Amino acid sequence: MPEKLIAEIFSKVIEYKDAFVAIIAAVIGGGIAYLQEVRLGNQEWAWSAFFLALASSGFIGWVTYFLGIELLGWSNTLSAVVGAMVGHIGADKVKAKLSQAILNRIE
């Protein structure tokens, strides 16, 4: 019984390997972006802020990956690369850019 479950889990992981790559790359990119902000003195170091940057970057990278595939019809590889880049930009900057774009369109 456990062998069947393990085989099923591995088959799902292999099926969505590009999504996992996008998430991991986005998390790494978000961590690097946070460390750059700390190094430049734009932000104080805090473990909680670091883990929040990792989590939010991973989430926005995951969302971008699936938006690229489902909505825009991109390949898995292109969606993974763009998801990683958006993760590096960071969720807070993406939110600011989207908010500005929406406000510009309303006006």
* pLDDT at position 92 over 80: no
- Span 67-91, average pLDDT: 86
For the chain, what is the mean pLDDT? 84
Q: What predicted TM-score, i.e. pTM, was given to this entire model?
A: 0.75
Of the candidates 89, 103, 107, which has an alpha carbon nearest to the alpha carbon of residue 26? 89
Q: What is the pLDDT of residues 23-72, one digit of tens each?
A: 898 899 889 989 998 999 988 999 998 998 898 888 888 888 888 988 89
Average pLDDT over residues 81-100: 80
Q: Which domain holds residue 94?
A: 2-106
What does the alpha-carbon distance between residue 61 and residue 77 come to, in Å, rounded to a whole number?
13
Q: 3-state DSSP call for residue 103? A: helix
pLDDT score, position 38: 93
In this prediction, residue 1 carries a pLDDT of 58
H or E stretch at 70: helix 47-70
CA 26 to each of CA 3, 34, 85: distance values in angstroms, whole numbers, following the listed order: 32, 12, 7
How far is the C-alpha of 88 from the C-alpha of 103, rounded, in Å? Answer: 24
Domain count, the chain: 1
